[in-house]
Amino acid sequence: MFRGSIFVDPFISIGRISRRIYGHFIEHWGRCIYGGIWVGPNSSIPNINGFRKDVIEAVRGIRASIVRWPGGNFSSQYHWLDGIGPRENRPRKLNLAWITKEGAEIEINEFGTDEYIEWVRLIGAEPFIVVNMGNGSPEEAANWVEYCNSSKDTYFARLRVKYGHREPYNVKIWGLGNEQWGWWQVGFTLSGEEYGRRALEFANEMKRVDPSIELVAVGHDEDMEWNIDMLKMLKDYIDYLSIHTYIWPENYSYEDFVATSLLIEDKIRAVYSTIVYAKNRYGIKKDIKIAYDEWNVWYPEARDYPYIQITSVKDAVWTALFLNTLHKYSDHVKIANFAQLVNSIALIIARDDGSLLLTPQYLVFKLYTMHNARDVVKTVVESPSYISEKLGKVVDYIDVSTLREDNILYIYIVNRSRDEEAEIDVHIKNLTPKAVEHLYIAGRSIDDKNTFDNPNNVEIENNKEFSILGNTINVKLKPHSINMLKIYT
């Protein structure tokens, strides 16, 4: 057992949280949409208008704030008109974004814009649509904005009404393409400048249809030259710069793996400094923030169809560390989308036989979305540390972020240690805790999973063994654990 201390100053706010950081991502990829979200109204799997009921309930359980769709790579070859109107008339097409050993996946287009909006409303989230900048045109993207957001008596707005949706959908957040720097992308571009030039045409035309939309441009988590070059072109047209990060766990020992959240911090700092630099250099006035709109771990077994990985406690530890980082950088990152929500490298596994599995990563989202806080408050940790040679980092065993919601504090604490329990004194400056709840996820080992045979193997547990003395709480944290202290003051 090791000892540590946490000092919380509830009256010093270090950032304002955007609820959009608890977002998710769904893509026409593997069994995410078809089988995962959409089974059709005639399915024997219980559904609401064709949407899996068990998945809706599970997603409601993690209060998904914003859901990005239709991709990902898929968006760069998706023509939205294929996905509206009577389902029996919609075309079957090759999904050129995702090529399996048997060739391209087949897109049946049963789930299109109207289904997406209906589903997003059912789960209580906000939509976020990524337009096709691969083989699509600015005109096609602008027409999509008209279909979704216009109440005018014009062709595409009327089409929406004709298909049964009188009220505009008011989609606020729109992505200008996806990973346009990647050779795997249909219609990829060769430089930030080339992307910026094309994206400008899209932004210009889309904003003429609805000037109130907010645009997310494709950025890069490592290539700052790309970011500067595209910002130079797009200037005040955009509101967010998107970055994506996947960690390949097979490249790391457990200790290095759970230290990678420090690399995420480095990335956020570097990207945000680049935005500030470009703003000064090119006279950009817009308050551009980061949209971390894809992030997760990605295991070798999920690199081929059907892209399923069943993650364990160590991935839950990593996920909590990532969310703590988003809390700490809440002034820089205003949107984040975990990749992905259902079946493909996902939190929720929904099988064709109607069974459902919630991973320990899912439980982390459950814990981290229990609050309604807006303020992140100053928190200092005193913890033993270790050295990650691979990352060149000194790593604290204890990682923490604190949120304040009126008179309630939510302290999210991760114990990275593989084997050691931590005894922690949590000091709350100038406030006396009246009551405390301690919920945690730890399993019994870092490799513990939930499986279809043992779906509740890893659970959120409740610890009542802590003590409060004055303004200090003394609590023990299990090894490899994710903890939430809810403190009523």
Residue 346 touching ligand AHR (CB under 6 A): no
Give which of 205, 175, 220 is closest to 69, Cα–Cα. Answer: 175
Q: Which is nearer to ligand AHR, 47 or 242 (CB)?
A: 242
Helices (H) and strands (E) in the chain, counts: 10, 26
Give the per-residue contact string, 320-339, with ligand AHR (x = CB under 6 A; - = no): -------------------x
Residue 382 a catalytic site member: no
Q: Which stretch binds ligand AHR (CB under 6 A): 51-59, 65-73, 323-331, 356-364?
A: 65-73
Structure tokens at 477: 């944290």
The answer to whether residue 105 forms part of the interface with ligand AHR (CB under 6 A) is no
Q: Quickly tell me which residue has 């997310």 as its tokens.
A: 216
What track of x and - describes contact with ligand AHR for positions 161 through 200 (by CB under 6 A)?
-----------------xx---------------------
Q: How far is the CB of 220 from ligand AHR (least distance, A)?
A: 12
Active site residue 437: no
For the stretch 77-103, what's the b/e string if a residue is b when 16 or more beta carbons lie within 10 angstroms of its beta carbon?
A: bbebbebbeebeebeebebbbbeeeee
- Residue in the shown chain whose Cβ atom is closest to ligand AHR: 72
Contact 16, 331 (CB under 8 A): yes
| 78 vs 169, beta carbon nearer ligand AHR | 78
Q: Which of 114, 210, 255, 294 binds ligand AHR (CB under 6 A)?
A: 294
Q: Identify the residue among 10, 30, 71, 136 touching ligand AHR (CB under 6 A).
A: 71
User: In the chain, what are the helix, strand and coil shares in percent, each to the nearest 5?
Assistant: 30, 30, 40
**139, 179, 225, 437: the active-site residue:** 179
Closest by alpha carbon to 168, among 191, 192, 184, 152? Answer: 152
Distance (Å, whole) CA 410 – CA 366: 13
Least distance (Å) from ligand AHR to the CB of residue 81?
A: 21
Quote the CA–CA distance of 176 and 196 in Å, as a whole number.
10
DSSP result, 168-213: -----EEEE-S-TT-TTSTT--SSHHHHHHHHHHHHHHHHHH-TT-
Tell me how many residues contact ligand AHR (CB under 6 A): 9
Q: Which of residues 3-32 bind ligand AHR (CB under 6 A)?
A: 27
Task: Choose, by CB under 6 A, the member of 47, 73, 95, 383 that binds ligand AHR.
Answer: 73
Binding residues for ligand AHR, rule: CB under 6 A, are: 27, 71-73, 178-179, 294, 339-340
Where in the sequence numbering do the catalytic residues fall?
179, 294
